[in-house]
Amino acid sequence: MIPLGPQSPAAPAPVQAEQLRANMRRIAQRQWWLWSSAVMVTLLLTLGIASFAFPGLLSETEASFNLNLAIRGLVGLVLLFNVYTIYQQLQIRRIQRELGDQVEALGKMEVRTEEVYKLAVLDPLTGLNNRRSGEQRLAEEISRSQRHGRPLTILLLDLNGLKHLNDKFGHAAGDELIRQFAARLNKAIRGSDLAVRLGGDEFLVLLPECKPDEVRHVLSRLSGLNVDCNGRSIAVSFSAGWTNFIPGESPEDLLKRADGALYVNKRASIEQDQLTTAVK
């Protein structure tokens, strides 16, 4: 069985994440330098103003500096700081745009990953897990059951009369029946269970830690489903077979035993229908 982890043609997520972290560090560094420069310029301006207000604090030589020259120096310092601030702000905006582009790329990659996941794991008609992912999950549940000694039940379901429905109403009606049955099945099981479409009109349900009577509850919730076909209400019937995992057996052997139970129940159902028809 091939691994199910979807691969995207875009850059791997760890690379994208590292680029985001690097840009965040660059922004933090630039902001730190900006604030440090602001503090330094503020201190220099304070010192300059203090030298004008309190010339006695400075030496006579320093006090003899030309006042106009000192003011020009302070103005030049402020202008240089403003230019430096504008430059840093432009750099921060550029990095923020890069971050925005990377976030957008990550969002697109997430969408593509979700699409690949659906193609790799989900059945396109019903939205249930497909056969491949169901077999992988079955192997995982068997391993968990053997490791912890917990029960595991599998349930096989087969729709009755689908071929006849397709011949009479068309494949679109058959697809609608499968979709509605799958939706009912997904609602009938617990959150820890897993419903799988094996293909055609066959379904598999994994029931970890399921008691025997709980299987009957699932089957009862599936009963009474009707599908509208060209204005006619068609009752959906199905056959079921289930069995419990025996420690040490393989997934193939477990499925084979469940399929045998399904065959017995389906044959009994057909014989019952034939008997009912003969009586009528």
Query: Would you say residue 4 lies in a domain?
Result: no
Rounded to an integer, the average pLDDT of 137-158 is 94
Closest CA to 189 of 141, 160, 221: 221
Residues marked active site are found at 201
Q: Given this model, what pLDDT does residue 18 score?
A: 66
Tokens of 88: 């840093």
Q: How far apart are CA 25 and CA 179, in angstroms?
A: 50
pLDDT at 44 over 50: yes
Query: Would you say residue 51 lies in a domain?
Result: yes
Rounded to an integer, the average pLDDT of 89-95 is 77
Both 230 and 143 in one domain: the answer is: yes
Please give the C-alpha separations between residue 114 and each of 8, 41, 80, 119, in angstroms, as whole numbers: 10, 52, 51, 9
End position of a domain, from candidates 121, 139, 155: 121
Both 77 and 31 in one domain: the answer is: yes
Both 66 and 144 in one domain: the answer is: no
Find which of 10-14, 116-120, 131-135 is predicted with most confidence, using mean pLDDT: 131-135
End position of a domain, from candidates 121, 145, 163: 121
Both 116 and 142 in one domain: the answer is: no
pLDDT tens-digit series, residues 227-264: 887 778 888 899 999 999 999 999 999 999 999 999 99
Confidence of residue 10 (pLDDT cuts 50, 70, 90): very low
End position of a domain, from candidates 65, 97, 121: 121
Q: How far apart are CA 83 and CA 85, in angstroms?
A: 5
pLDDT at 209 over 70: yes
pLDDT at 277 over 70: no
pLDDT at 132 over 70: yes
Give the CA angle between residues 197, 201, 206 to the nearest 5°: 35
pLDDT at 185 over 70: yes
Q: Which residue has the higher pLDDT, 9 or 213?
A: 213
Fill in the DSSP letter of residue 129: B
- The count of domains in the chain is 2
Tokens of 119: 């193609």
Query: Would you say residue 126 lies in a domain?
Result: no
Both 68 and 207 in one domain: the answer is: no
Q: Given this model, what pLDDT does residue 1 score?
A: 34
Q: Which residues, in sequence order, are CB contacts of 158 under 8 Å at separation 6+? A: 201, 202, 203, 238, 239, 240, 262, 266
Q: How far apart are CA 219 and CA 213, in angstroms?
A: 10
Both 84 and 150 in one domain: the answer is: no
Q: Given this model, what pLDDT does residue 278 score?
A: 45
Q: Given this model, what pLDDT does residue 154 score?
A: 96
Both 138 and 227 in one domain: the answer is: yes
Quote the percentage of the chain above a pLDDT of 90.
Answer: 37
Both 160 and 273 in one domain: the answer is: yes
Average predicted confidence (pLDDT) for the chain: 78
Query: Would you say residue 99 lies in a domain?
Result: yes
Query: Would you say residue 182 lies in a domain?
Result: yes
Query: Would you say residue 153 lies in a domain?
Result: yes
CATH code assigned at 236: 3.30.70.270
Residue ranges making up the domain that contains 207:
131-279
Rounded to an integer, the average pLDDT of 38-49 is 67
Identify the H or E element spanning 153: strand 152-159
Closest CA to 185 of 209, 201, 162: 201
Confidence of residue 93 (pLDDT cuts 50, 70, 90): confident
Q: Given this model, what pLDDT does residue 7 score?
A: 38
pLDDT at 91 over 60: yes
Both 138 and 266 in one domain: the answer is: yes
Among 45-59, 136-150, 226-240, the range scoring the smallest mean pLDDT is: 45-59
Query: Would you say residue 1 lies in a domain?
Result: no
Query: Would you say residue 2 lies in a domain?
Result: no
Q: Which residues pair with 204 in a beta bridge?
A: 156, 196
Both 136 and 244 in one domain: the answer is: yes
Question: Rounded to two decimals, what is the model's pTM?
Answer: 0.61
Both 98 and 194 in one domain: the answer is: no
pLDDT at 266 over 60: yes
Both 183 and 54 in one domain: the answer is: no
